[in-house]
Amino acid sequence: MSVPDLSLWQHSHVFDAGNPLAERNTWRVVGLAAAMMVVEIVTGWWYGSMALLADGWHMSTHVAALGITAAAYWSARRYARDERFAFGTFKIEVLGGFASAIILGMVALLMVAESLERMFAPHAIQYDQALIVAVIGLLVNLTSVWLLGDSHGAAHAHDHDSANHQHHDLNLRAAYVHVLADAATSVLAIVALLGGKFWNWAWLDPLMGVIGAVLVGVWSSGLIRATSRVLLDREMDHALVDEIRGAIESDGHSHVSDLHLWRVGRAHFACIVGVVTRELRVPDDYRRQLRPHDELVHITVEVHRAE
């Protein structure tokens, strides 16, 4: 008995082409962040600026977090065709984004603790020297925002063109939020130092640290929700669920008895559909009805004949 050509029914589990531009730019940002981290921590401690020191420690976590982002891209690309990953390696990238979001939340807590400590135990600040370093840090952060923003725009355009139900690169979004948070805290550090230098508002330095921490915490929370949604397969409130149900039941004789939808790529989904019908139908009939949905890359249909 001859074996049929199985390739006609097989498909690749590499659902995303990756994001090489984002990976390259992330490594560049890691180098910039590492260099500025050393400068800000040393000068913030030496000149007594809490806002600058907090910005430096914040930058140090970015070196680790951005490294996680780049490593996630590398791992997803390296293992893309590894058959041990049943639905591809997309979630390696999402896991990287989740880890970065957790680090960002820890940074926010650290910034609050350090700032409150400085409110009750103020330190002398050498404003002129600290301002120079803070401005340099802001320029580095803006360069990083530009690098990752360029990658983010390219990824957004690709996702928009590839499917009706687009979804951003959460790994890249995590890196972008990190550098954007750094730029924001750099601005707050400069405001605090200027207020202290010209109006002797020493209290402004720790206050800016608290405001920066709240901002970072809000961004971290949003990123944690977005990544955990994908990691936990919480997709059953997605608009595509109703579209699948509507397509299957459009003949008036079929009814969806069971439906599972989960994300396997930035804009790609897999689904399992259980159908009950009184008609003589086969799974391929329903797959053809779902064919207009290009975002569905893996469809399993179970047909149950109603008595």
Specify the CATH number for the domain of residue 256. 3.30.70.1350
Domain boundary (184, 202, 231) is at 231
pLDDT at 3: 65
Q: State the total domains in the chain.
A: 2
In a domain? residue 69: yes
Same domain, 114 and 263: no
In the predicted structure, residue 6 carries a pLDDT above the cut 70: no
Q: Is the pLDDT of residue 121 over 80?
A: no
Query: Mean pLDDT highest for which of 172-186, 192-206, 286-300?
Result: 286-300
**What is the extent of the structural domain holding 245?**
239-305
Q: What is the pTM of this model?
A: 0.81
For the cut 60, the answer to whether the pLDDT of residue 167 exceeds it is: no
In whole angstroms, how large is the CA radius of gyration of the chain?
A: 25
Lowest mean pLDDT segment, chosen from 57-61, 103-107, 118-122: 57-61
Is residue 2 assigned to a domain? no
Look at residues 201, 231, 261 and tell me which one is the last residue of a structural domain. 231
Assess whether 119 and 35 both reside in one domain.
yes
CATH code of the domain covering residue 107? 1.20.1510.10
Got the DSSP string for the chain?
Answer: -PPP-GGGG---S--S---HHHHHHHHHHHHHHHHHHHHHHHHHHHHT-HHHHHHHHHHHHHHHHHHHHHHHHHHHHHTTT-TTSTT-SHHHHHHHHHHHHHHHHHHHHHHHHHHHHHHHS-----HHHHHHHHHHHHHHHHHHHHHHHHHHHHHHHHHHHH-SS----HHHHHHHHHHHHHHHHHHHHHHHHHHHHHH--TTHHHHHHHHHHHHHHHHHHHHHHHHHHHHTT--TTSHHHHHHHHHHGGGSSEEEEEEEEEEEETTEEEEEEEEEESS---HHHHHHHTTT-TTEEEEEEEEEE--
Average of per-residue pLDDT across 81-106: 90
Strands 296-305 and 268-277: parallel
- Checking if the pLDDT of 51 tops 80, the result is no
State mean pLDDT over 253-264.
94
Instruction: Output the pLDDT for position 160.
Output: 43
Give me the phi and psi of 68, to 5 degrees please.
-65, -40
What confidence category does residue 299 fall into, taking pLDDT thresholds of 50, 70 and 90?
very high
Are residue 204 and residue 248 in the same domain, yes or no?
Answer: no
Angle at 65 between CA 117 and CA 270, to 5 degrees: 130
Question: Average pLDDT in the 185-190 region?
Answer: 86
Could you tell me which residue, 275 or 156, shows the higher pLDDT?
Answer: 275
Residues 109 and 190 in one domain: yes
Is 60 exceeded by the pLDDT of residue 157? no
* 1 inside domain: no
Q: Same domain for 49 and 118?
A: yes
Burial (CB count within 10 angstroms: exposed 0-12, middle 13-18, buried 19+), residue 244: buried
Q: What's the confidence (pLDDT) of residue 61?
A: 73
- Per the rule left: phi > 0, alpha: psi between -120 and 50, beta: everything else, 18 is left
Beta bridge partners of 254: 277
| Rounded Cα gap, residues 90 and 11, in angstroms | 16
pLDDT above 50 (res 25):
yes
Residue ending a domain, among 231, 247, 277, is 231
Most confident of 53-62, 172-181, 294-303: 294-303
- Phi (first) and psi of residue 176, to 5 degrees: -65, -40
Q: How far from the centroid of its chain's Cα atoms is residue 272's Cα?
A: 27
- For residues 155 and 248, state if they share a domain: no
pLDDT at 288 over 70: yes
To 5 degrees, how large is the angle CA 202–CA 204–CA 208? Answer: 140
pLDDT(132) > 90: no
Task: Tell me which of 97-101, 153-157, 198-202 is least confident.
Answer: 153-157
